[in-house]
Amino acid sequence: MAKSLGIFVTNPEQFKHVMGITKAAKAKGSKVKVFFTWDATHNAKKEPGFKDLCELADDVSICVDSYAKQGYDIKDIPAGLDEKKMATQAQHGIIIEDYDCYLSL
Protein backbone atom coordinates (compact mmCIF):
# COMPACT_ATOMS: atom_id res chain seq x y z
CA MET A 1 0.00 0.00 0.00
CA ALA A 2 1.51 3.30 -1.08
CA LYS A 3 1.87 6.03 1.51
CA SER A 4 -0.53 8.97 1.42
CA LEU A 5 0.78 12.43 0.53
CA GLY A 6 -0.39 15.88 1.57
CA ILE A 7 0.82 18.97 -0.31
CA PHE A 8 0.60 22.49 1.15
CA VAL A 9 0.98 25.13 -1.60
CA THR A 10 2.05 28.64 -0.60
CA ASN A 11 3.86 29.77 -3.76
CA PRO A 12 1.88 30.51 -6.95
CA GLU A 13 4.81 29.60 -9.18
CA GLN A 14 4.87 25.92 -8.21
CA PHE A 15 1.76 24.63 -9.99
CA LYS A 16 3.76 22.65 -12.54
CA HIS A 17 5.42 20.75 -9.69
CA VAL A 18 2.11 20.24 -7.86
CA MET A 19 0.74 18.55 -10.99
CA GLY A 20 3.88 16.54 -11.67
CA ILE A 21 4.18 15.22 -8.13
CA THR A 22 0.45 14.47 -7.84
CA LYS A 23 0.50 12.52 -11.12
CA ALA A 24 3.54 10.52 -10.05
CA ALA A 25 2.09 9.78 -6.60
CA LYS A 26 -1.29 8.73 -8.00
CA ALA A 27 0.48 6.41 -10.47
CA LYS A 28 1.96 4.66 -7.42
CA GLY A 29 -1.48 4.25 -5.83
CA SER A 30 -1.05 7.03 -3.29
CA LYS A 31 -3.89 9.05 -1.77
CA VAL A 32 -3.13 12.74 -2.41
CA LYS A 33 -4.56 15.85 -0.77
CA VAL A 34 -3.61 19.37 -1.90
CA PHE A 35 -4.36 22.64 -0.09
CA PHE A 36 -3.62 26.07 -1.58
CA THR A 37 -3.20 29.18 0.56
CA TRP A 38 -2.45 32.91 0.18
CA ASP A 39 -1.41 33.98 -3.34
CA ALA A 40 -1.15 30.33 -4.42
CA THR A 41 -4.98 30.53 -4.52
CA HIS A 42 -4.46 32.41 -7.84
CA ASN A 43 -3.67 28.96 -9.27
CA ALA A 44 -7.34 28.02 -8.86
CA LYS A 45 -8.38 30.74 -11.32
CA LYS A 46 -5.33 31.22 -13.51
CA GLU A 47 -3.91 27.75 -14.09
CA PRO A 48 -5.69 25.96 -16.96
CA GLY A 49 -4.76 22.61 -15.40
CA PHE A 50 -6.36 23.33 -12.03
CA LYS A 51 -9.60 21.45 -12.83
CA ASP A 52 -7.52 18.48 -14.01
CA LEU A 53 -5.67 18.53 -10.69
CA CYS A 54 -9.01 18.42 -8.84
CA GLU A 55 -9.97 15.34 -10.86
CA LEU A 56 -6.60 13.67 -10.40
CA ALA A 57 -6.05 14.22 -6.67
CA ASP A 58 -8.27 12.71 -3.98
CA ASP A 59 -8.93 16.04 -2.32
CA VAL A 60 -8.16 19.61 -3.41
CA SER A 61 -9.19 22.69 -1.43
CA ILE A 62 -8.21 26.33 -1.10
CA CYS A 63 -8.17 28.84 1.76
CA VAL A 64 -11.31 30.90 1.15
CA ASP A 65 -10.03 33.77 3.29
CA SER A 66 -6.85 33.98 1.19
CA TYR A 67 -8.90 33.76 -2.00
CA ALA A 68 -11.00 36.74 -0.90
CA LYS A 69 -7.85 38.69 0.09
CA GLN A 70 -6.46 38.12 -3.42
CA GLY A 71 -9.51 40.02 -4.71
CA TYR A 72 -11.83 37.19 -5.76
CA ASP A 73 -15.51 36.91 -4.94
CA ILE A 74 -15.94 33.85 -2.71
CA LYS A 75 -19.17 33.04 -4.59
CA ASP A 76 -17.07 32.66 -7.75
CA ILE A 77 -16.05 29.06 -7.02
CA PRO A 78 -13.18 27.88 -9.28
CA ALA A 79 -13.91 25.02 -11.70
CA GLY A 80 -13.17 21.70 -10.03
CA LEU A 81 -14.07 22.88 -6.51
CA ASP A 82 -17.37 23.13 -4.68
CA GLU A 83 -18.45 25.23 -1.73
CA LYS A 84 -17.09 22.74 0.81
CA LYS A 85 -13.63 22.94 -0.79
CA MET A 86 -13.53 26.70 -0.18
CA ALA A 87 -12.04 25.97 3.19
CA THR A 88 -9.88 27.14 6.12
CA GLN A 89 -6.37 26.50 7.46
CA ALA A 90 -7.85 23.46 9.23
CA GLN A 91 -7.19 21.66 5.91
CA HIS A 92 -3.48 22.18 6.51
CA GLY A 93 -3.92 20.63 9.94
CA ILE A 94 -5.57 17.59 8.36
CA ILE A 95 -2.63 17.16 5.97
CA ILE A 96 -0.19 17.18 8.90
CA GLU A 97 -2.25 14.94 11.17
CA ASP A 98 -3.70 12.39 8.77
CA TYR A 99 -1.26 11.95 5.87
CA ASP A 100 1.88 9.82 5.91
CA CYS A 101 4.04 12.25 3.97
CA TYR A 102 4.11 16.04 3.91
CA LEU A 103 5.39 18.41 1.25
CA SER A 104 5.19 22.21 1.06
CA LEU A 105 5.57 23.94 -2.30
Partner 1 sequence: MEYNKVCFMYRAKDSANDGIRSALGLAVENMYSYGVVLDDVTMDKIDENLTESIEMLRDMEGEIYSTNPANCELNGLEPITIEELGEKLRDMTHVIPYGIKK
Partner 2 sequence: MKVLNVYRSEPDDTTKKLVEIVIRDRESDSFDLNVDSPDYDALVDKIFDADQVICWW
Q: Which residues bind partner 2 (CB under 8 A)?
A: 2-3, 5, 11, 14, 17, 20-21, 23-25, 27-28, 30, 100-105
Query: Phi, psi at residue 46, to the nearest 5°?
Result: -105, -15
Segment (H or E) for 93: helix 90-98
Contact range with partner 1 by CB under 8 A, out of 26-34, 50-58, 76-84, 86-94: 86-94
Main-chain phi, psi angles of 32, to 5 degrees = -125, 130
Q: Which phi and psi angles does 39 have, rounded to 5°?
A: -75, -5
Q: Does 93 bind partner 1 (CB under 8 A)?
A: yes
Where along the sequence are the contacts to partner 1 (CB under 8 A)? 8, 10-13, 37-39, 66, 69, 88-90, 92-93, 96-97, 102, 104
